[in-house]
Amino acid sequence: MNTDAVRKQAFAMPLTSPAFSRGPYRFYNREYLVLTYRTDMAALRAVVPEPLEVTEPIVKYEFIRMPDSTGFGNYTESGQVIPVSFQGGKGNYTHAMYLDDHAPIAGGREIWGFPKKYAHPHMAVCQDTLVGTLDYGPVRIATGTMGYKYQEMDQAALLESLKQPNFLLKIMPHVDGSPRICELVQHHLSDIRLQGAWSGPGALELHPHALAPVAQLPVLEMLSASHYIADLTLTHGQVVYDYLA
| Omega of the bond leading into 24 within 30 degrees of 0 (cis) | yes
Residue 193 buriedness (CB in 10 A; 0-12 / 13-18 / 19+):
exposed
The average confidence (pLDDT) of the chain is 97
Please state the rounded mean pLDDT for residues 223-231: 98
Domains of the chain: 19-242 (2.40.400.10)
- pLDDT computed for residue 106 by the predictor: 97
- pLDDT computed for residue 80 by the predictor: 98
Please state the rounded mean pLDDT for residues 204-228: 98
Please state the rounded mean pLDDT for residues 68-83: 97
- pLDDT computed for residue 70 by the predictor: 94
The string of pLDDT tens digits covering residues 172-205 is 999 999 999 999 999 999 999 999 999 999 999 9
Please state the rounded mean pLDDT for residues 153-157: 95
- pLDDT computed for residue 121 by the predictor: 98
The string of pLDDT tens digits covering residues 116-143 is 999 999 999 999 999 999 999 999 999 9
Please state the rounded mean pLDDT for residues 76-91: 97
- pLDDT computed for residue 182 by the predictor: 98
- pLDDT computed for residue 225 by the predictor: 98
Could you please report the per-residue DSSP string of 166-227?
Answer: EEEEEEEE-TTSSEEEEEEEEE-EEEEEEEEEEE--EEEEE---SS--GGGS---EEEEEEE
Residues with catalytic function: 116
Rounded Cα gap, residues 38 and 58, in angstroms: 5
Whether residue 23 has pLDDT greater than 90: no
- pLDDT computed for residue 68 by the predictor: 97
Give the percent of the chain with pLDDT over 70.
100
